[in-house]
Structures are given as C-alpha cells and as structure tokens.
Amino acid sequence: MNASSPIPAPTTSQSLLDSWVEAWAVAFSGVADCLTAALTRGPAALDVPRWLQLISTHRRPSWTTAHEVVFEAPLARLRDFSTSRKRGLVPTLVLPPQAGHDSCVVDYSAEQSQIGTILASGLERALSLDWIGATAETADASIEDYLDVIDQAIGHCGGRVNLIGDCQGGWLATIYAALHPERVNTLTLAGAPIDFHAGEPVVHEVLRHLAPGGDLRFYEALVAADGGVLKGEHMVAGFIMIQPADEISRQLQLLLHLDEPAYVARYREFENWFKHTQDIPGGFYLWVVRHLFRDNALVGGSLRVRDQRVNLASLDMPLNLLAGATDHITPPDQVFAIAALVSTPPELVVRDVTAGGHLGLFMGHVALREHWPPLLAEVLRHSRANGQPRPKPLSA
C-alpha cells in the first residue's frame, strides 16, 4: 500500500471498563460451554488436573531460524540470520519488542517468523538484537546504553542498515535514526508508538489512573520494591489486566480442547513465550514512562539524549509504517503520526493497516503473509546500493 492509498479508519481503543465488561461476557460464555461439554460428554470430558498442569507449566521459548550469535553485551546479544553476504545489499537489523517477554517473538515458529519473512523477501543479510533481561548489574541502564548497543550492532553490520523496529523497538529505532540518520538506510516501524497520546490508547488511560497529575511515585515505588528493576511478570500482568478477555478465553478454550494434540501444542507454544518473562532495567523503564508515556516528548520536540535534541525532522530515509486496526496497545494513529514530522518525501512513506491486533503484527499468519512482503519489497528496492553513508544533516 503506497503513500497515496486510502488508509482504513483506525478503531478507537476500548476503555478499561469496556475491556472488563467483555471479559465477564467471555467468562460466562466459556463456563457455559464447559458445563455443556460436561453434560453431553460426561464429567471425564473435562480433564481438570491435566488442564491445571498445562496452565501452570512453562518452558523457556527459543528462536527457530538457523543463526549465530555474533556478539553479546550486557543489555543485548546480536543474532545473525544471514543466508548470504551479497556485496551491495544493505543489511537489515530488527529491534524486537521489549515488554517483559523474550525477543524471539520475531522468530516465533517456522510458520510464523518475521525473520523468515525478511529472508524470503530477498533481504538475505538479516540480523536481530535479542534483549537480555535486567540484572542487578544492569538495573541502572539508561537510554544512552541502549542506543550504544544499537550503534555497536550497526557497526558490526558495516555502518549502515535497514532498521526495523517492532513496538518498543520501534520508538527506540526512531530515536536512534533521528540522532544518526546517516546510518539508517530505511526505517520500518510496526505497532510502534511515536505519538504516545494519540488514538486514546488503553495504556495511556492506565497511566492517568496510576500517575494522577503526572506523579510517578507509583512507578518509582514499583521499581524500588524489586531492587531497581521492573519485573517482567508485572508487565505481563498489566497486559492481561488491559485485555482480560483474551486470557480468559485462551484458558477456557484449552480446557475444551485437551483431546486435540495440535491445539494443545499451539497453546503451549504461545504460553511458553507469553508467560516466560524477563525484567527491564528500572532506570531505563522510568525514563520511558517519564519522557515518552507521560510527557510525549518524542513528538513534542523536547526530547534530548546526551544533550542532543531528538529531532524527527532529521529523518529523511524511506519510511514504512504498519499498524493494526484493532491494536489496543498501539492504535494506528500513534504509529502514523510520525509521517507528518519527518523530512522523508511523501512518495517514500508507505502505510499499511492489518485487520488484527498488536501481537499479530509481528507473528500473525495474515500479517506475515499479506502485509510484510510488500513493505519488505520496498525495503529491498532501496537496499541495492553501495552502502555508503549519506552525509549527516546539520542538527536543528
């Protein structure tokens, strides 16, 4: 979908009350289905002990596509999935989401792999950062530390990349690209909040409740209580609280489909990823809450890193934007807001909207089959160059 194509009207995110009303409806419906199954097929139809065992047992998720780890820093490791080293083909670097889960969501399975889709598009020099959970040693890590890791990864790639950022990885990619535009050949953002206050996101509604008047003492206490890190399980619990119907439905549907091995395997695959958590450095997390979620400084023009202004007008590279029409975490307006703030020519801005929600943008069958290939074709079109950096523009 090119810049002139019509964009479906974004769906307004549900309020927290709406989400909980929906959750009650899903719970009543699911319990009714379970009672019907017990009455028609007998009590043995519901193997509750096995169900309890499945919902309480999780394994560490893993990456799917063949690769090698080419370096590891305290905050992240760099995984190289390249299938060739073609001269003149700009490498592609993925920044996965970082929200208390493992980065392997971008290589979720053989059938649902963003990495696999990138390679299949002809971008055969593909790498991904893999965020490492916070420890006591990295609890004070800063935004500067994360930007340094990205810079190190791009240096390993030769000094210039196609940067793909998913969700949190997207605003991080945007900040890096604004500070170092000469090192970013193309910028692709999927479900990435840029204008954090656009589209009435449920996440912003939660912030208004927990930080009345902008007071961040709740978040500061949460980090302090766990030794300076934000526990991954808190992040996951927050996502469940925002959209509880999904969690209720997933668990009750498992109870009804325990006799279907393929269904149980799919359930375990997702739960292993979703419920295996990792912590986030408290210093970094509080910076994000303060400057991005609360102050919306990225679009406001007041964000500074190492005393350098993060100016979105510095972005002049081809820009690809992907959003989900029913994304309650990052509504489309939050993603597409960047287009009005960059210097990229309008004909080099590509927008697309999937019919699904947030996670589906990175690992959903439809998104990977129908929406990512055209975006990646655009990336490839701009990637058959000599890879020489563009001159760095003057800072505004």
> Parallel, antiparallel, or unpaired: how do β-strands 76-80 and 126-131 relate?
antiparallel
pLDDT in tens, 248-294: 998 999 999 998 999 999 999 989 888 888 999 999 999 999 999 99
Does residue 233 have a pLDDT over 90? no
Which one is predicted more confidently, 7 or 195? 195
Give the domain 1-381 fold.
Answer: Rossmann fold (3.40.50)
Length of the chain: 396
| pLDDT at residue 5, rounded to an integer | 35
DSSP 164-186: EEETHHHHHHHHHHHH-GGGEEE
Distance CA 229, CA 288 (A): 13
DSSP code for 138: G
Provide the pLDDT confidence category of residue 16 given band limits of 50, 70 and 90. low
Mean pLDDT of the chain: 89
Distance CA 104, CA 279 (A): 15
| pLDDT at residue 15, rounded to an integer | 67
Provide the pLDDT confidence category of residue 40 given band limits of 50, 70 and 90. confident
pLDDT average, residue stretch 13-30: 74
Distance CA 382, CA 390 (A): 13
Distance CA 43, CA 358 (A): 37
Provide the pLDDT confidence category of residue 394 given band limits of 50, 70 and 90. very low
6, 352 in Cβ contact below 8 A?
Answer: no
